[in-house]
Structure 1
Amino acid sequence: MTGHAHKEHSGEQLLSAAQNVLTNAGEQWTAMRADVFETLSEQERPSSAYDIADALSTRRGKRVAANSVYRILDLFVRNNLANRIESANAYLVNTHPGCQHDCIFLICDECGKTVHIDNDQLTGALRKAGNAKGFANVRPVVELRGVCDDCAAR
Structure 2
Amino acid sequence: MASHAHTHHQEHSGEALVEAARATLTEHGEQWTAMREGVFRALASEDKPVSAYDLADEMTRRREKRVAPNSVYRILDLFVRTNLANRIESANAYLVNTHPGCHHDCIFVICDDCGAATHIDDDRVTGALREAGKDAGFADIRPVVELRGLCDKCAA
TM-score range, shorter chain: over 0.9
Point out where structure 1 has 5 or more consecutive residues left out of the alignment.
none
**Amino acid across the alignment from 1:4:** H
Q: Give the residue type in structure 2 aligned to 1:138.
A: I
1:74 aligns with 2:70: no
Q: Give the corresponding residue for 2:135.
A: 132
Name the amino acid aligned to 2:33. T
**Residue deviations 1:130-151, cap 9 Å, x none?**
0011000000000000011100
Q: Report the secondary structure of 1:56's partner residue.
A: helix
The TM-score normalised by the length of structure 2 is: 0.97
CA distance in 2, matches of 1:138, 1:106: 21
Paired with 2:150 and 2:44, the residues of 1 have a C-alpha distance of 23
1:115 is matched by which residue type in structure 2? T
Q: 1:24 is matched with which residue?
A: 27
> What are the within-5 Å matches in structure 2 for residues 40-59 of structure 1?
40-59=43-62
Equivalent residue in structure 1 for 2:4, among 2, 5, 16: 2
The amino acid of 1:59's aligned partner reads R
Separation (CA, whole Å) in 2 of partners of 1:58 and 1:136: 42
Deviations 1:81-136 (A, max 9, x none): 00000000000000000211000000000000101000011100100110011000
Q: Secondary structure at the match of 2:98?
A: coil
Q: What TM-score results when the alignment is normalised by the length of structure 1? A: 0.98
The 2-side partners of 1:62 and 1:29 are apart by 20
For residue 6 of structure 2, what is the amino acid of its counterpart? H
1:4 Cα offset (Å): 2.4
Measure, in 1, the Cα distance between the counterparts of 2:123 and 2:84: 19
Q: Structure 2 unaligned runs (5+)?
A: none
**Per the alignment, in what secondary structure is the counterpart of residue 137 of structure 2?**
coil
Partner of 1:13: 16
Match of 1:152 in 2: 155
